[in-house]
Amino acid sequence: MRVSPIATRLIALLLAAALISGCAGRSATEEEPDEFEGVAEQQLYDEAREALDDGRYTTAISRLEAIDTRYPFGRHAEQAQLELIYAYYETSDWEATRAAASRFIRLHPTHPQADYALYMRGLASWQAGRFSLERLRLIDISKRDLGASRDAYTDFRELVLRYPNSEYAPDAEQRIVYLRNVLARHELHVADFYLRKGAYLAAVERGRWVVENYPEAEATRDALAVMVEGYLGLDMRDRAREVLQVLIENDPNNDRLRGRTFLPQHVRAESLSA
């Protein structure tokens, strides 16, 4: 019996479909072999420690994660979680670092090294907010979206408040000063934008927010100048004069002042004298 060309192609297609289906079925049911099947906790930890000492962080992470999964209540469980934070940080995985640190703090809030976990969480956010060109001063990060830097500021402040005697507190305090100034300057960039667009009330609120939330930042004085100009834009000269008096008392050499007279930069308004 002679088979037609059409039937031959049909049979070939059916055979190919069956072969593909069979392969898919096997791949769906087969599981990848577990590299750490039957490996004792102590061996995993020893291998992880050796990898950490050698700077082989990816290898260390695989062992530490295996301990965390297989031996969550084991002898090395807590230490493995701490060292995972460090290993993730060394591989520049800031999101994983923060997640691991947050988990450790949640599970072990009274642990002697809870301050370390909090410090590392802040440090991961600090790094996530950095630009490689920042050290060359080619860009101003205060003009960027600073969500990660705000997280770092919050974590470092929490560390200093909760653990004032922590060995990590002095470094956290220095970073707080830097971040406070960066975040305050960022708010002032936004306020200047509002002034240029005629959104004077929004500019005043931004300036007030800086004064209230970052009172120790250098940018607080310029925030007062923003408020003066915003009130001038709203034609609230009495309120503007009140804030101007505070500006003169705190920063008599401000760039916007000529003696006791305020010179608007973005608002079309007459100069204001205290």
HEC readout, the chain: CCCCHHHHHHHHHHHHHHHHHHHHHHHHHCCCCCCCCCCCHHHHHHHHHHHHHHCCHHHHHHHHHHHHHHCCCCCCHHHHHHHHHHHHHHCCCHHHHHHHHHHHHHHCCCCCCHHHHHHHHHHHHHHHCCCCCHHHCCCCHHHCCCHHHHHHHHHHHHHHHHCCCCCCHHHHHHHHHHHHHHHHHHHHHHHHHHHHHCCHHHHHHHHHHHHHHCCCCCCHHHHHHHHHHHHHHCCCHHHHHHHHHHHHHHCCCCCCEECCEECCCCCCCCCEEC
Q: What string of pLDDT tens digits covers the 274 residues of the chain?
A: 454 555 455 455 445 554 455 554 444 445 556 778 778 999 999 999 999 999 999 999 999 999 999 999 999 999 999 999 999 999 999 999 999 999 999 999 999 999 999 999 999 999 988 753 354 444 555 556 688 999 999 999 999 999 999 999 999 999 999 999 989 999 999 999 999 999 999 999 999 999 999 999 989 999 999 999 999 999 999 999 999 999 999 999 999 999 999 999 999 888 899 8
